[in-house]
Chain A
């Protein structure tokens, strides 16, 4: 089938949807219709009824991630950070909006593009930067790096680096909540390329079959490394794929932090109260390459600029100004604050010691192997 033949149907369909277009799954149709109406009502309020402290906090979080990633890019270029480094610049509204809708004891799992989620979940920038620098003070003691960050204290269960690998794991943490009778929900982030993996489909099937409180958040940044969605996916309307499993789904504008938050709040309610999963397709865009080594030649300058006009941080700062929540002075002060926080993280990472050589052989087994009898 030619590219042209398929394009108008699903692409156009997706673009025409409102910021919080709701696709009903058959069993929940009545509920979702009600929720959709309520959502529209709420949308009348540009600020989602949030107080200014919360709004400023959301803005600050996004800005912190942006500045953190800029610094990480700098440190990568100067050789302080090794391996792969996948930056989150452009997608900040997704992690911040979504994670603002849950509690600290809720679970978050994500892919290898994870620094933003880690910051949004409340991990310290010092520990994240130190991990990138391969230092013992890093959140994974320097053993995980950019793609494997964990923090048990805030239930951040990793960074996983096989595309889609975190999706069955997140289904399992949600299973754990239901099994243990807690009301903790799981947010599972992944890119749109992961949707083509079997792990995605196997997980959604089980999540609805067993009614698990997992919220699957597909961050559709439209490229799996250098391959565009058009070249890799037959049905490109990802939210619709939920219908195959009778899961409720929504299509969300990922450049709008409040839209993401609202949509995740609705999903959280379904999950917390009724142990029901949701699939969210959050349309976003990464402003940088796939990783630091990717010059991004597969995208045009014009395309990138088009999305940069909808930079989530610029959009939100404009809203905050318009609604008189923040003025230039406040925004400047916030920028200065987060720059200092990131500078501190770099200093902390730089000055921290490397892992001691003996750490090579620790953390392999929790029940240690008796080395005198067994090798």
Chain B
């Protein structure tokens, strides 16, 4: 086990998969000569050459579609969006081509492609560069959506995503690249898609959190433990397919649940999880499902306003206290 950053873990995953399979190539804006806008692709051009690590023009729709076409003829592209905000330009190719090709072709053309890059809230870049888009992509059958929260998950899930035969939306958190964690050294270390992890066991309240909200939820759980409230923190890690069984099992034990996410509340992933809980665990609930979401506003620039827009430890603590009827 080595302790490395999420950035380094992703870099290792890319290096190992590029080494393992000639069909894997990496393309995107500034991924090669510039070494990646967030340095996730550092050193890869030097090691693998410009055939396999390719700088693209700023042409998101074009290179996303090119990647899907390359996947149709047997390659395994990893397409980096400098940030997922720019994937909005490529949505036609992600949704109408990548997600639907296997179905429309009656099972003939699967699309083994990974679209990856940072998403979620960033620091003080205002509305167009700071947003959570996972619920968009999770909506579409045919796509898989992955959001790691630790260095080990980042590595293991990215390797699985690259080896997967379907299109995977892999959203890294822009604020978390420097977070450190232990990562197994085994080059064949992978984490299967669609399997949640209990990040902390507890008995009183279940907290479901993903991406940036995982460390926030863990901090809240630490604080609540001192008050005598035992929280179980579950990270689904994959949004689609969603491991709802692990969440339901936890609710059956704790009878209370808080759902935390950075994204806007309307039509969000937590809205979906909430509905699933109603359908599958209603009789086990001792309190209504409580959601903690990003503010329902475009992200502001001013530091104080931005802090108000992203859920924090205190909001999660309050939500837990609410479902535990402690206030």
Contact = CB atoms under 8 A, between A and B. Distances in A.
Interface in A322-375: 362-367, 369-370, 372-375
Given A150-B106, A157-B72, A165-B97, A364 B62 contact: no
A366 B102 contact: yes
A138 B106 contact: yes
B133 interface: no
A375 B194 CA distance: 9
Contacts of A172: 65-73
Given A165-B65, A375-B242, A363 B75 contact: no
A199 B109 contact: no
Contacts, number: 169
Given A179-B75, A202-B61, A375-B241, A142 B69 contact: no
Closest 3 CB pairs of A and B: A172-B69, A168-B65, A202-B62
Question: Which has the most chain B C-beta neighbours within 10 Å: A107, A151, A175, A199?
Answer: A175
B288 interface: no
Contact of B142 (A175, A199, A362, A365): A365
Interface stretch (A67-75, A93-101, A203-211, A305-313): A203-211
A152 B245 contact: no
A198 interface: yes
A373 B194 contact: yes
B298 to A, nearest CB: 25
Contact of B243 (A141, A174, A373): A373
Nearest to A145: B104
Contacts of B51: 179
B87 interface: no
Interface in A172-213: 172-177, 179-180, 198-199, 202-203, 205-206, 209
B228 interface: no
B164 interface: yes
B70 A205 contact: no
B62 A206 contact: yes
- Measured as residues with beta carbon below 8 angstroms from the partner, the interface class of chain B is 35 or more
B76 to A, nearest CB: 11
Interface in B129-161: 141-142, 144
A162 B245 contact: no
Contacts of B68: 168-169, 172
Interface string B100-136: 0111111111101000000000000000000000000
Nearest to A142: B106
A144 interface: yes
A165 B59 contact: no
Contact of A176 (B64, B65, B74, B112): B74
A56 interface: no
Contacts of A144: 104-106
B245 A372 contact: yes
Contacts of B107: 141, 362-363
A48 B245 CA distance: 67
A272 interface: no
